[in-house]
Structure 1
Amino acid sequence: MATVMTRRLERISASAAVLMFLLNTLNTGRCDEQVPLMLWTSEGISLPGQLPPTAGHIVGRDQLGSYLEKALSVGPRNVLLFLQDKMSIEDFTMYGGAFGNKQDSVFPNLEGALMSSPSPLVLPAVSWPASNAVIGQLQDQLETSPLYMDPETLSQLRLNASSPALLVFRLPYGNGADLMSAKEILSGNDEVIGQVLSIMKTQSVPYIAIYTALRPSREAASLTLETGMGGGRSLLQSRRGHKERERERERQRKIKEKGGDYAPVEFKKGENTCILMWARNLSVSIQRNGRWESHDLTPATFGEGVTPRLHDSSCDQTESRLVLNYEGVLGHRDFKLIFAMSQSHYRVSARRWFTLDAVELVYDGTKAIFNGSRNIYAPAEYSYRCESVSSFQWPVLVPRSSKDPATQWRVSFEDFQIQGFNVTGSEFSYASDCAGFFTPGIWMGLITNLLMVLVLTYGLHMIMQLRTMDRFDDPKGPAISVPQTE
């Protein structure tokens, strides 16, 4: 792996390298937000030759899109996207055996795939906004939704060379300061790549594989040219400043992730939006062989470049139905998550209310139904929001009957919000929260105050029962004689 990338980078002449160093030294902008990207095909499948960019050139979104379009125009329609959280070119120089120690390389499977591919393409510097948009570009060109997979799920899926498929494999990255932890995680990611490629080889399906990341894992320190003895001190200060800026950017990124920085699912009827749904997490679980197997639907539902398939959804004045279509969920090729809602007028409250009547799971011709109308409701002009909607922990969704297939499933929605009627624009109306007025904290405060009032009342009652003496001793007169017999 490192050998291939080193050959690409060796094309830079010595004078060009010195010039780039000087330019980077004088440049005060951000020159380090790049990630590498590798593209290769299965054995026996060759693509038209594409010239890599010149040394020092950063591939943007449009140029990356042209690379992918040329590859997919004549190549296989099955695409494997290995998307790592973070990655930089330094990861390959540090852990890829770039200095002759090939036995220490943590990328043997990746390097073998690139060597065996007839037409590999290595892009050392791709802007990370472009790499973030690679899922959306592949989705538009393949005209299919991405399937978030793992090797176990892929082994149960049967692919067809004639129908396109976009399989996304999310890979982690070590965020700690321990270098060995990052090395071990990268080695584990390479093993995942090897497992996936082995499974694809057994299925004899041609494919195009892409390995890239969402963000860079390292940032180069900006250097300033200074004369005299202050140069070393300035370099250390520059590095400290970059570390601080990196920590600040990481903090801002976590804040955005925590806040759920993505748009809700929006279903339109004509030009008007009639259903909105948002959640921080959507997950389903099924019980098999005495244990629960879970699947996270969030990445395939929300996020930049993700377009959920909403066909079969519908809405009118009395009923709304939001249908989310997925593929490859827990071994089921076709999987649907359906939210069925209705609204009606109630004479007691003299207003209209909407209810989430049911949450349905439809898979391979089987339907599992969870009833939610008893707990999930809101005024028709409002949206409904709840911190947790689940069928197993403080359940608000219950199986329709004891014999319903829903008894084998679990659903969980975190920070859930939905509106099926009276949607204005593309924003939720005022939210009716599921939390009641008397929360546990309020009950604890009321009970504590009640106990204090009872103690105070008892004390006042005891004080009021005290009686003063009816006779007193006069120091100037004779002493009071109190007979002992009385």
Structure 2
Amino acid sequence: MAGSRCSSRARLMAFLALFVTLFSTGCSVAQVPLLMWSSDGLPPLATPAAGHITSKDQLTAYLTSAFASGPHTVLLFLQDKLSKDDFTVFGGVFGNKQDSAFQNLEAALQSSSSSVMLPALEWSDSSAVPALLQEKMGVSPLLVDADTLSHLSINTSASNLLLINLPYCTGLDKSCKKVLLDNDDIIGKVLSIMKDKNVLYTAIYTGLQPSRVISETSMSTQPAGRSLLQAVVPDVKPPIMFNVSGNPCIMLWAQNLSISLSEGSVWIDLAAQTPSMTGSICNSSNSLLVLSYESGYILRFAMTRRFYPVSGRHWFTLDSVQLQANGQTASYKGSHNIYAPAEYSFHCQSVTSFRDTLLVPNKDDATPWRLNFIDFQIQGFGLANGTDFSYASDCAGFFTPGIWMGLVTGLLLLLIFVYGLHMIMQLNTMDRFDDPKGPSISVPQSD
């Protein structure tokens, strides 16, 4: 029982993490989230990678395995609009759990025997999911509400597809959170009725269409997304992508690609400009990304993929960064901290040539140029099967200076406490006391 609770809590934690931090992607494909849980058990499904968009074919294949044999009772909670951002904004993840608009939903996921979370399901039209369920189950959906369901006799010997429509906020009468709270109450009532009827069921919660569309402009020719370690932000620009034969080969994204001639001079942000990638190359072992800007600046990122027998896997490193400006060339070597598994991307909040030593200036290079890359992410290998960054290997170590300071201070205080306790335990009391006010002791003498 304890193990079941722990696994349920782990699934809930994974659900919160999936919808809050790991899926801040910009993509031209409309998406809706889909949550699926069951009181009877579901086939296992691997957790989608960060930024992955589940296609309709993948969902079809999973539903085929889920409803392959025997009759099933499916509760389809179909909301007018739904996006993964609704869980971030109204889920109360960053505050008190009592503020969440999805308390009954989260409780159902936590208590279910198995659940599946698809944060980004490819959306085509409003009838896609109901039509797919109707095809796989062989029955037409029956529109019900909580009151109707309480008086409905459910034949468990045949498949049942029960459709519960849920509204979404229009901005006219109720706030979005109030509407979602009411919807969550409906979900709780329906699940409670199914429990009272002692009917095993599979529940699905999704939307007729997305409630929010993220970064759908300026991406018609090169649809791409990004998966960075940050919260959802509006108007995220697409990453820089170099393709070979129509397949993505190198991807780079940065909030700022700033360069400065010397300390105190004006910073120039190249990320605000659109570069040409003429001269870029990539293969299975080497990648070179060349960014040529109309202002005359050229940035080159050289990466290498190698196999390390000690770890038994391939790793890639950012070997060098080169800047050409005003007829001068500044070269910087990537330190030993700029690396990641070959199938991952590399991410760092700050990459500079003057503060964190991630980019080490060439000793033979006397140019005073300085580089400052903010929220920097790059991947030079393993992009053939997708247009999103792979899982990011971050440059931030676990033991930061603050953690080390806390550990050392705590150890010092512990030593002082142990020494004081040892001194107290060594104190001894006298085995005899003299009373100067009492009578003196006389010893009679005999002749």
TM-score range, shorter chain: 0.3 to 0.5
Structure with greater proportional helix content: 1
Normalization by structure 2: what TM-score?
A: 0.44
When Rg is computed on C-alpha atoms for both structures, the one with the higher figure is 1
Normalization by structure 1: what TM-score?
A: 0.41
Higher relative contact order (CA 8 A, sep 6+): 2
